[in-house]
Amino acid sequence: MRVLALDTTTRAGSLAIVDDDRIVDERDGDGARPHAERLPGEILTLLAANAVALPEIDLFAVASGPGSFTGLRIGIATMQGLAFVGRRPMAAVPALEALGHLGGSDARPGALVAAWMDAHRRDVFAALYRVTDAPLFDPGRIVALEGPTVGDPESTLARWRDLISACAPVFIGDGVPLFADLLARVLPGSSMRPTPRLAGAIGRLAVAQARRGETMPAAAMQPLYVRRPDAEVARERAAR
């Protein structure tokens, strides 16, 4: 199964071609330009570089969120359009879940992985996972202990206190370096991983979804915002 995977939850994001259990090509997006300016161009460039035509893609996979509202909308709409044209199914993969799998890629069963994404406003999108003995990128590889949520990092750590008291998690995601001092002070035994590309993991997880019959038609794709859009909150306040 050949999968085209896209992540637009962060400014740069990433994209990848995955063939069954192998990542054929994975690239960062151009963070100097907004997603609306570079999609679908970056996708077409990736496909051309690997001599893959759009009709040869069996499944379109996209990070469903959380992340930038604009980035999510553009990424999902781009992949929906390609899936509609090709009459192919889609797979939605939460970005925090992809981070959990990457953070636990070399961890022993029972280890904890904390996925933190920059939610701006000094907040993080967060989820906490426990690693199992299932194979990497198998849906059962990680079990969510909490998530996804959004909030300030200190409150998140306080809420997790009982869960992480006996086992310091591996922290992963672009929210981690922003609060590295806090983590070093509160959890000196924790490990902090570099922020990875997500598209390859999204593609691998999409293959696992397809094998379980969990893909969907393009029209069924929905974003995972976690935090309500500012425009929605503003409209609600104005209506009071």
CA distance 174 to 63: 15
Same domain, 15 and 67: yes
Same domain, 165 and 219: no
Q: Which residue has the tokens 């970056």?
A: 42
Same domain, 188 and 201: no
Same domain, 219 and 142: no
Structure confidence at residue 234 (pLDDT): 46
For the chain (240 residues), the mean pLDDT of every run of 10, in chain order, is 97 97 97 96 98 98 95 97 96 98 96 97 97 96 96 96 92 97 92 95 98 96 82 52
Same domain, 115 and 51: no
Same domain, 118 and 142: yes
Structure confidence at residue 227 (pLDDT): 80
CA distance 82 to 218: 9
Look up residue 121 and give its two tokens. Answer: 């406003």
> What residue numbers bound the domain in which 63 lies?
2-94+197-239
- Predicted model pTM: 0.93
Total count of domains within the chain: 2
Same domain, 150 and 207: no
CA nearest 4: which of 49, 41, 56?
Answer: 56
Structure confidence at residue 71 (pLDDT): 95
Same domain, 21 and 32: yes
Same domain, 26 and 90: yes
Say which CATH number the domain at 215 has: 3.30.420.40
Structure confidence at residue 238 (pLDDT): 55
Structure confidence at residue 232 (pLDDT): 54
**Alpha helix positions (H), the chain:** 35-38, 41-49, 69-86, 95-103, 153-159, 161-164, 180-186, 199-211, 230-239
Structure confidence at residue 231 (pLDDT): 52
Structure confidence at residue 175 (pLDDT): 97
**Torsion 76-200-27-49 (CA) sign:** negative
CA dihedral 174, 171, 154, 110 (to 10 degrees): 150
Same domain, 117 and 78: no
